[in-house]
Chain A
Amino acid sequence: MKNLTVPAEVGRLDDVVDFVLEELEAYGISFKTQFQIRLAVEEIFVNISSYAYDPAGEAEVRCEILEDPLRVVIQFLDSGMPFDPLAKDDPDISEEGLLGREGGLGIFLVKDTMDEVQYEYKDGKNILTILKNL
């Protein structure tokens, strides 16, 4: 398992995405799977950067590739205010909802693209774990 700790700032998104995609590089994954993983990583990291801390804090990203079946597990840890992103309802994607507030789009896309999404609050940290079969 590899890990990366960065300030939880949107400007560091590229570092986080590059870190994860580099771990996956040796596995020859499809464009679409790579797209979906990049998307989930972005939405989670951007949420942490936007909401977890005031003032800014750090985010730790852990990435592990497991076999049988081949899958990637990515964990995001932050010490910000306790927040379970899975506890909210999905956004309203009807026409009206679309043109109104669209909070929750990010986590909705994470749930759509990933095979498993789990949250726990442990030892003072928000821990969000995503899993994608490769």
Chain B
Amino acid sequence: MSMDISLIKRGNDAELKLDGYIDATNANEVEQVLIDVAGQFDSLTLDMEKLNYVASAGLRAFKRLYMELRRKGGTLSAKNVDKAVMEVLEVTGFTRLFKFV
């Protein structure tokens, strides 16, 4: 399975644990799940401990999620980001989308 996502509800916010990778073959699907969940909560935290790979297709999914939450005045947070993933976020400036907790 390319990506498993589990949800922890915390009042009006939620945490999503990402387990797997986001690449061009699954990014649309992953994005759809993220957007669906974003529709139900004020703010989201992505726990990226088990996100072992992300490509530009994944960054676009994160960007869409960020814009969806921002539209509603919510925050996108991230935690436990792997070093290699973090480097991709840093070099592309996508760290700007996240509050790191």
Which A residues lie at the B interface, using CB under 8 A?
Answer: 10-11, 13-14, 31-32, 35-36, 38-39, 42-43, 46, 93-95, 97-99, 102, 105-106, 108-109, 112
Please report the C-alpha to C-alpha distance between residue A94 and residue B96 in the assembled complex, in whole angstroms.
9
Main secondary structure of the interface of A (DSSP, over half): helix
Contact indicator B84/A95 (Cβ below 8 Å): no
Contacts of A46 in B (CB 8 A): 24, 55-57
Contacts of B50 in A (CB 8 A): none
B29-54 near A? 1/0 per residue, CB < 8 Å: 00000000000000000000000110
Contact indicator B55/A98 (Cβ below 8 Å): no
Q: What's the nearest-Cβ distance from chain B to residue A108, in Å?
A: 7
Q: What range describes how many residues of B lie at the interface? A: 20 to 34
Contact indicator A35/B84 (Cβ below 8 Å): yes
Please report the C-alpha to C-alpha distance between residue A10 and residue B23 in the assembled complex, in whole angstroms.
10
Contact indicator A105/B92 (Cβ below 8 Å): yes
Please report the C-alpha to C-alpha distance between residue A32 and residue B87 in the assembled complex, in whole angstroms.
10
Q: What's the nearest-Cβ distance from chain B to residue A110, in Å?
A: 10
Other-chain contact of A99, B25, B53, B67, B88 (Cβ < 8 Å) = B67
- Write the chain A residue with the least CB distance to B55: A42
Q: What's the nearest-Cβ distance from chain A to residue B39, in Å?
A: 20
- Write the chain A residue with the least CB distance to B70: A99
Give 12 A-B contacts (CB < 8 Å), ordered by A residue.
A32-B83, A39-B88, A42-B23, A43-B55, A43-B56, A46-B56, A46-B57, A98-B94, A105-B56, A105-B59, A109-B92, A112-B91
